[in-house]
Structure 1
Amino acid sequence: MIRGLVILVLALANTWATDYNALIDDEGIYVKCSEAPAGTLGPRDVFNIDNMVMHMEPEGIYVSGNMTVKLNFLPSDRISARFSVMHYERGSWQPTMFNLHSPNFCEVMFDEDQYWFKYWFRYIRNKEEIREKCLKVKDTVLVYDEFLMVLHLENVNTSNLQGRYKAVITLEAFDEHNVRRPSSLCVEIRGDLERVT
């Protein structure tokens, strides 16, 4: 009896699963945060992305080239990274359950189980250099193999996700006494999730 009920629930969950396409606003993907604290830097303030190519196609965004770190931190500094998804509801941005925080980003950026790696850092060609310098050393170049950033979510088993979203990514540096450095990065990826019919 219970086994049959479990099979029925699993079958219904798969039937209710939905696919979504993400429609990104800006072909450059990243823009400066709209609600960042004073002194927060945007993507072009922290990285030289003149040699980064991002080309939007129906199947996703093709990314290739390289970007160069503009800021300089001490080797002993710790970089904290945060990724938060916000949903636009009734005139304001509301937090969602989709959040990721890595207090020591440099330790996990090449961990294959981390989302940072799966969707962005796995495509870095010069992994050993970046593993050593992280994003702390000015003029460090992150060289990317060409890859496709897929803008499709498959088999989502949750309530309707259609609507306006933004992903907010922040990077903050802390010294050896855990005091936050004055310069931090905040970027957003804005767009809409559209249900696939």
Structure 2
Amino acid sequence: MGLYKLLQPSEIFQNHEMEQCIAWIFALLCILHSLRETRSTTYEVLGDDKTLDIVCDASEDRGNTPIRQILDISGLTVDMAADLETLYFNGDIKVLIDVPNNPMEMEVDVFHWERSEWIPTKLAMKRNNFCKSLSNPMELWYPIFMKVPKEEMICPPNKGHVYRLANVSNHVFVRNMPRANIAGDAKAVVHLTSGDMKTCAVIFFKIYASDD
């Protein structure tokens, strides 16, 4: 069975590792959205399950509330596909605090690993109202969030609110996209702000590119 046991996530992940799946998904979507801006290449994006530390460096962190104090995702289960790379997340995400009822701002910056250092790329995005963007069919993440029952799609959420995920993957192919020099190791630094609450996460990815 190798390092992992199929369909037994409780034996694969410790709680602090489970808490990173939602960040993986979020940053993966941000990277793919950025690639829209920059044609005819297929990108394979895979959340890196080898790098489990999502804490921002002091130089990157503008947050005041750790993501683990905002979300409890211990109710999620993780199933591994036969390729031993693709993971599917199912289950509940519980909100632990009242998120300020303000437009939630989101900023994402993507970096590429080159010559033993992280180099800023032109891939970045900003949303002044991330919650509003969740219902926009033009956004890249719409097909995923549309799987969440409408009555659960409350954003910003209140303490005790529960979101349910169904077969959300860390492994995505995006086809017919512009060519961008980003294949290899990448990271996304994600900042979310709602009122006086700010949180930060850094997420690591492998990106593969092939001509269509």
What TM-score results when the alignment is normalised by the length of structure 2? 0.65
Q: Deviation at 1:85?
A: 2.0
Select which of 102, 108, 121 maps to 1:83: 108
**1:45 match:** 69
User: Taking every aligned residue pair, what percent have the same amino acid on both sides?
Assistant: 24
Superposed, 1:146-185 pairs within 5 Å as: 146-174=167-195, 181=196, 183-185=197-199
Q: Deviation at 1:188?
A: 2.6
SS in structure 2 of the partner of residue 32 of structure 1: coil
Q: Does 1:192 pair with 2:203?
A: no
**1:8 match:** none
Q: Which amino acid aligns with 1:84?
A: D
Select which of 79, 94, 108 maps to 2:133: 108
Given that 1:30 and 1:43 are in contact with CA atoms closer than 8 Å, whether structure 2 keeps it comes out as: no
> What is the root-mean-square deviation in Å for CA atoms of aligned residues?
3.0
Question: How many equivalent residue pairs?
Answer: 170
Cα 1:169–1:123 shift into 2, 3 Å:
farther
Which structure is larger by alpha-carbon Rg, 1 or 2? Answer: 1
SS in structure 2 of the partner of residue 34 of structure 1: coil
Given that 1:123 and 1:146 are in contact with CA atoms closer than 8 Å, whether structure 2 keeps it comes out as: no
Cα 1:101–1:160 shift into 2, 3 Å:
closer
Given that 2:107 and 2:125 are in contact with CA atoms closer than 8 Å, whether structure 1 keeps it comes out as: yes
What TM-score results when the alignment is normalised by the length of structure 1? 0.70
* In structure 2, distance between residues paired with 1:24 and 1:40: 25
Q: Does 1:33 pair with 2:56?
A: yes
**2:124 match:** 99
Select which of 148, 162, 167 maps to 1:124: 148
Given that 2:44 and 2:172 are in contact with CA atoms closer than 8 Å, whether structure 1 keeps it comes out as: yes
**1:10 match:** none
Cα 1:68–1:86 shift into 2, 3 Å:
same
**2:91 match:** 65
Select which of 158, 161, 166 maps to 1:140: 161
Question: Structure 2, unaligned stretches of length 5 or more?
Answer: 1-38
* In structure 2, distance between residues paired with 1:23 and 1:150: 5
Given that 2:75 and 2:93 are in contact with CA atoms closer than 8 Å, whether structure 1 keeps it comes out as: yes
Cα 1:105–1:22 shift into 2, 3 Å:
closer
Cα 1:84–1:28 shift into 2, 3 Å:
same
* In structure 1, distance between residues paired with 2:124 and 2:106: 11
* In structure 1, distance between residues paired with 2:200 and 2:145: 18
Q: Deviation at 1:63?
A: 1.5
Q: Say which structure is richer in strand.
A: 1
Q: Which amino acid aligns with 1:98?
A: L
